[in-house]
């Protein structure tokens, strides 16, 4: 009998010798071959490979790709956050280093200026002849101190007599006026030396002028202290500080070899013009304030 499954010729057996199919049922009732029978008829290695593939597919969840993608995104976001936090930390550390360096530089500048100030105070004119470009910063600091101390003087005076517009009229305006006077003095010295065709260095000029202004700083400090004791002494010290500006202007100019060329105007007159201009600026800018304080000082109600 031929097996209907594998077409193997069998004798009168009830089961196929090759695939083991039931020949009795196939002969009596030809039914379609089921999956189990076909699976039984498959070779061993075919059934093993299909079983392994099915088990491997079953072991992998259907959402595994999405989970891996989410993990990768989480890792990327975590790495980005780590880089951002590291960048913020590095920027904060850099800012702290810069601030510390600025503080250290400010301390060094203040120490150098203090030693410079004390050495100049004893012999300002002799020191003026030896300064160079490296002392230009000290010259600017001296002029800044003069502007601030003169403004502080007017601010304290206005506060004691109860005047209106205390901060603007008592501090900002004198500060601005004093800065204009000092800058105008430097500009006039620069112009005269250029007219005289004298070779000079602008930074050295600033350093020389600032060196001669050191006694004016001391005079202004004493003027601020003497406001509490006597207006007359205080305003006299204030006037001395502004006189020192004129003395410094002339001292710096006359240490250069003026009138070396046949200029249209003599050096004496050019220096005189510079003094007149500075005096005019001083009178126009601070004259009203100083005259008002002198009137208050001479008044019997203004004396202390």
pLDDT tens sequence across 134-190: 899 999 999 999 999 998 988 888 777 665 556 776 678 888 889 999 999 999 999
The answer on pLDDT for 45 being more than 70 is no
Instruction: Please report the pLDDT score of residue 227 as a whole number.
Output: 84
What percent of the chain clears pLDDT 90, i.e. is strictly above it?
25
The structure tokens 């510079």 sit at 274
How many Å apart are CA 205 and CA 199, to the nearest integer? 11
The beta-carbon contacts of 11-18 under 8 Å, at least 24 apart in sequence, are none
14 token code pair: 């009830």
Residue 294 CB burial class (10 angstroms; 0-12, 13-18, ≥19) = middle
CB 220 within 8 A of CB 149: yes
pLDDT at 34: 45
0.75 surpassed by pTM? no
What does the alpha-carbon distance between residue 110 and residue 144 come to, in Å, rounded to a whole number? 14
| φ/ψ of residue 9, rounded to 5 | -80, 120
pLDDT level of residue 229 (50, 70, 90 thresholds): confident
Average pLDDT over residues 19-28: 66
**pLDDT at residue 292 tops 80:** no
> Of the ranges 14-23, 89-98, 120-129, which is most confident?
120-129
User: CB-based burial of residue 222 (10 Å sphere; 0-12 exposed, 13-18 middle, 19+ buried)?
Assistant: middle
As a whole number of angstroms, the distance between CA 136 and CA 202 comes to 9
């Amino acid at each position: 009998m031929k097996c209907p499954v594998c077409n193997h010729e069998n004798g009168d057996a009830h089961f196929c010798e090759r695939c083991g199919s039931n020949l009795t049922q196939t002969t009596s009732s030809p039914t379609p071959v089921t999956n189990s029978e076909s699976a039984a008829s498959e070779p061993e290695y075919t059934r093993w490979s299909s079983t392994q593939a099915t088990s491997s597919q079953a072991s992998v969840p259907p959402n595994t790709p999405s989970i891996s993608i989410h993990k990768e995104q989480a890792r990327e976001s975590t790495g980005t956050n780590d880089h951002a936090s590291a960048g913020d930390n590095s920027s904060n550390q850099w800012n702290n280093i810069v601030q510390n360096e600025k503080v250290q530089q400010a301390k060094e500048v203040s120490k150098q200026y203090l030693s410079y100030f004390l050495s100049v105070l004893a012999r300002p004119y002799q020191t003026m002849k030896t300064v160079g470009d490296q002392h230009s910063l000290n010259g600017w600091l001296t002029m800044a101190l003069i502007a601030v101390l003169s403004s502080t003087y007017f601010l304290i005076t206005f506060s004691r007599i109860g005047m209106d517009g205390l901060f603007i009229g008592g501090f900002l305006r004198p500060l601005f006026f004093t800065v204009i006077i000092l800058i105008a003095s430097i500009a006039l010295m620069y112009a005269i030396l250029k007219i005289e065709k004298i070779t000079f260095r602008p930074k050295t000029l600033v350093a020389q002028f600032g060196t001669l202004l050191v006694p004016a700083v001391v005079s202004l400090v004493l003027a601020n202290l003497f406001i509490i004791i006597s207006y007359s002494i205080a305003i006299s010290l204030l006037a001395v500080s502004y006189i020192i500006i004129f003395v410094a202007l002339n001292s710096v100019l006359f240490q250069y070899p003026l009138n070396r060329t046949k200029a249209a105007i003599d050096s004496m007159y050019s220096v005189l013009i510079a003094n007149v201009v500075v005096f005019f600026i001083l009178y126009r800018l601070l004259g009203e304030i100083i005259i008002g304080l002198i009137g208050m000082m001479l008044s019997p109600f203004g004396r202390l």
